[in-house]
Amino acid sequence: MKRVITYGTFDVLHYGHINLLKRARSYGDYLVVVLSSDEFNKIKNKQSYYPYEQRKIILEACRYVDLVVPEVNWEQKVDDIKKYYADIFVMGDDWRGKFDYLNNYCKVIYLDRTPDVCSTTTKQHLKSN
């Protein structure tokens, strides 16, 4: 069984997120999503529209996702890869090169983002309505 791991905030889930999750899952048989906790988002100066527990429920309902666990710091990636026996680490291409060091532990793949959709724009639209 091949295991894939990916990371993100996955706030206001949209079709770009679903495309990323579907493509990530296509690389293996099991997909672990490491979801940024509210506390970690504060460290990153990010504000989620939905709190962690609600984002987790939404992701768990997605058929491409097998397990959702919290991300609490930048340094946990190597431990997560080992803990969840990940063969492949997947991230969006806006992170290209930032996680190449993980090739020492598993294969790293950067996926193209879905054009014309982003969480920031979606959140701005929600606030204006």
Q: Report pLDDT digits (tens) over 100-112.
A: 999 999 999 999 9
User: What does pTM read for this prediction?
Assistant: 0.90
Catalytic residue among 2, 42, 44, 83: 44
For every residue of 5-57, DSSP letters joined together read EEEE---S--HHHHHHHHHHHTTSSEEEEEEEPHHHHHHTT---SS-HHHHHH
Residue 44 annotated as catalytic: yes
Residue 46 annotated as catalytic: yes
Catalytic residue among 2, 22, 42, 46: 46
**Domains in the chain, CATH or no CATH each:** 3-128 (3.40.50.620)
Q: Report pLDDT digits (tens) over 52-75.
A: 999 999 999 999 999 999 999 999
